[in-house]
């Protein structure tokens, strides 16, 4: 049976937010394991937090223990960082082409911090009819 999932390199999610706060505060919240545990639903984030270091996400999701991973590709505090991300939940082999790419860019606009978050390369589920046909 063929796999019913594939990583789609064309899918992209972008989020832009303006917050009236200090740039360093936003950077701390986005990159501190203490805060990441809050906004990633209890996930523990482990890294040396520098360019080229591994990034491990550990936790429990709906009763299943997981350990996701990636690599910090760019680290330019307090403005910019990117990392790759792989999860066994993708259902794909652990190969470089099966990693998502997350980009976090911060900039100042007066008293506001502009947060630009982008994720590319998603797992795409096939339409139900196509799944049904492949499993017959």
Q: What is the pLDDT of residues 1-60, one digit of tens each?
A: 445 467 787 889 999 999 999 999 999 999 999 999 999 999 999 999 999 999 999 999
Mean pLDDT over residues 93-104, rounded?
Answer: 94
Instruction: Indicate if the alpha-carbon torsion angle 27, 31, 36, 40 is positive or negative.
Output: positive
Put the strands of the sheet holding 80-85 in their side by side order: 5-20, 112-125, 100-109, 80-85, 64-76, 54-61, 44-47
Domain ranges of the chain: 5-134
Phi, psi of 88 (to 5 degrees): -60, -25
pLDDT of residue 63: 92
User: Do the beta carbons of residue 33 and residue 48 sit within 8 Å?
Assistant: no
CATH of the domain spanning 5-134, picked from 1.20.1440.230, 1.10.3720.10, 2.40.50.140, 3.30.530.20: 3.30.530.20
Percent of the chain with pLDDT over 70: 87
pLDDT of residue 125: 57
CA dihedral 26, 30, 33, 38 (to 10 degrees): 90
């Amino acid at each position: 049976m063929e796999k019913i999932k594939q990583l789609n390199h064309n899918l992209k999610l972008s989020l832009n937010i303006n917050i009236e706060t200090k740039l360093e505060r936003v950077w701390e919240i986005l990159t501190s394991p203490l805060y990441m545990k809050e906004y990633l639903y209890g996930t523990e984030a482990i890294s040396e937090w520098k360019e080229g270091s591994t990034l491990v996400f550990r936790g429990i999701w709906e009763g299943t223990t997981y350990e996701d991973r990636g690599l910090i590709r760019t680290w330019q505090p307090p403005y910019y960082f990117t990392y790759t991300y792989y999860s066994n939940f993708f259902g794909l082999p652990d190969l470089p082409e099966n990693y998502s790419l997350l980009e976090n860019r911060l900039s100042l606009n007066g008293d506001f911090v502009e947060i630009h978050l982008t994720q590319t390369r998603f797992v795409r589920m096939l339409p139900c009819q196509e799944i049904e046909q492949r499993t017959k």
